Amino acid sequence: MAPDGTFFAYMRRFHAPDVQPGPYSLGPDEARHLAQVLRAQAGDSVELADGRGAVFPAEITSVGKRDVLLEVGLPACHPEPTPQLVLLVAPTKQTDRFEWFLEKACECGVTAIQPVWTARSERRVEKHDRWRRTLSEAMKQSRRAWLPTLHAATGLADALNHTADAYPNHWRGIAHCPVPEHPHWERQSMTDALPPQRDAVIAIGPEGDFTPDEIQAFEAAGFVPVTMGEHRLRTETAALFAVQAFHIVNALK
Amino acid sequence: MAPDGTFFAYMRRFHAPDVQPGPYSLGPDEARHLAQVLRAQAGDSVELADGRGAVFPAEITSVGKRDVLLEVGLPACHPEPTPQLVLLVAPTKQTDRFEWFLEKACECGVTAIQPVWTARSERRVEKHDRWRRTLSEAMKQSRRAWLPTLHAATGLADALNHTADAYPNHWRGIAHCPVPEHPHWERQSMTDALPPQRDAVIAIGPEGDFTPDEIQAFEAAGFVPVTMGEHRLRTETAALFAVQAFHIVNALK
């Protein structure tokens, strides 16, 4: 049983983006984890996920401290989950809150994340590799076959252009705090506004929210203003709420 | 504007369980925060929430490092949110994951939390005061008028007896991982099973899940087994998913 106590009923799964059937050598990070933390031995069976839907059965043939060799079988292929959910979200000032969100968003099911720097983004430190590792760990832990796409962080104008190019037919919604100029009762709730069984891009603002100019830019780009209710949610809470609402609306509507 | 950058559109709110109209002295923790972090001054207006629905307007009359005096007005009284949601949840091995859950559950709206030690609870350290402070901070931050009730951590038998006494008419659901003995497709999803506009108690297992005996004890106590889908969620993710599913189901059904 793994240290997190949750593996007993499952085959151990690892992330191997370039895996193919046949002999395969696991990368140093995964190899160290497998050998030193999970104490894997030759003959153990594991699963390798490429993060693009293919999950390969594999048997460990030899274990070294920095190198684990496996014999890989033919994969089971999982279609990409639909409808797609793309989140356009401002990284939080405290990076651990954003990393927490990335972990949970992957566990709960998100297609892509576009980090965006806004006028009120206080600390603009992109930790792309670390954030990607967080997503990879969450993909394995939640036993998903698809690794969410993590786009490079950009300013708002570039983010709007990029999502317009990459996701032209997605429904677009922007959630911002209830503020005196935009009280929540002027807007539909996200759960009412979300169209069922349709791909979506949802934008979530930073601490301090989007500026009125930024909200106008979103509306000009076809984003529907929605509310998550009268209570003020932290950025990462609102972003995860959007993920949950998207899936539950699609399950119920 | 407060350091978290979110206060600009709001009156600053503080938690004062024993506040009454008239002259009032803020406790040392809140006073230090108000004086040293927020740099409040005599003449500033704030709000004091008692955590039981009453929110009092107040004006600061004097500011010391350990003592802040206010003149408190008549409160606006908010009814307790309904339907009620009570979570019976096993604290995680890493306490920060459980504290993260407490913050988010309060932000998103939960009535009460019953921490429970289970057969697979690995580290049984109750941090009641710290957990309560986390809820208090989240109540203020999300501008809620009600502080969630944090029950004392107990074993499963006591927790089942206590919830049966305290919440006799609530719908009861237990979410556990899909395991070979209980595949997820044998059970209703939580979103399908949740009855709309009805108070509920929802139980979420520890890392490693409830044991088969524990699941039987829940079913004997009237808990309906539900699934959160085929993907494996961490304890704190599943617990927050239950909170958000409860509110979204009640908004949509």
Q: What is the C-alpha to C-alpha distance for residues B29 and B33, in angstroms, rounded to an integer?
A: 6
Range list of β-strands (E), chain B:
13-15, 22-26, 45-49, 54-63, 68-72, 76-77, 85-89, 112-117, 149-150, 154-155, 171-175, 188-189, 200-204, 224-227
Question: What is the tens place of the pLDDT at every residue in B93-116?
Answer: 999 999 999 999 999 999 999 999
Mean pLDDT of A76-88: 96
Q: How far is B170 from chain A (nearest CA, A)?
A: 22
Question: What is the tens place of the pLDDT at every residue in B157-196?
Answer: 999 999 999 999 999 999 987 666 666 667 889 999 999 9
The amino acid present at A169, given as its one-letter code, is N
Are A142 and B191 in contact (CB < 8 Å)?
no
Q: What is the C-alpha to C-alpha distance for residues A157 and B213, in angstroms, rounded to an integer?
A: 56
- Asked whether residue B238 carries a pLDDT value surpassing 90, the answer given is yes
CA–centroid distance for B213 within its chain: 28
Mean pLDDT of A88-102: 95
Regarding predicted confidence, which is higher, A122 or B25? B25
* The predicted structure's pLDDT at residue B208: 86
Q: How far is B206 from chain A (nearest CA, A)?
A: 9
Residue B11 binned pLDDT confidence (cut-offs 50, 70, 90): confident
- Asked whether residue B3 carries a pLDDT value surpassing 70, the answer given is no
* The predicted structure's pLDDT at residue B200: 98
How would DSSP label each residue in B73-105? -PPEE-PPPSS-EEEEEPPPSSHHHHHHHHHHH
* The predicted structure's pLDDT at residue A28: 84
- Structure-block tokens of residue B68: 């802040």
* The predicted structure's pLDDT at residue B183: 62
Which domains, and CATH codes, for chain B?
Answer: 13-77 (2.40.240.20), 85-252 (3.40.1280.10)
A100 at the B interface (CB within 8 A)?
Answer: yes
- Asked whether residue B7 carries a pLDDT value surpassing 60, the answer given is no
Single pTM value for the model: 0.89
Q: What is the C-alpha to C-alpha distance for residues B163 and B88, in angstroms, rounded to an integer?
A: 9
- Residue where the block lists tokens 């704190």: B236
* The predicted structure's pLDDT at residue B138: 96
Mean pLDDT of B32-48: 88
B108 at the A interface (CB within 8 A)?
Answer: yes
3-state DSSP call for residue A84?
coil
Q: Which residue of A has its CA nearest to B103?
A: A237
Residue B207 binned pLDDT confidence (cut-offs 50, 70, 90): confident
- A191 CB neighbours in chain B (<8 A) are 248, 251-252
- Asked whether residue A3 carries a pLDDT value surpassing 70, the answer given is no
Residue A217 binned pLDDT confidence (cut-offs 50, 70, 90): very high
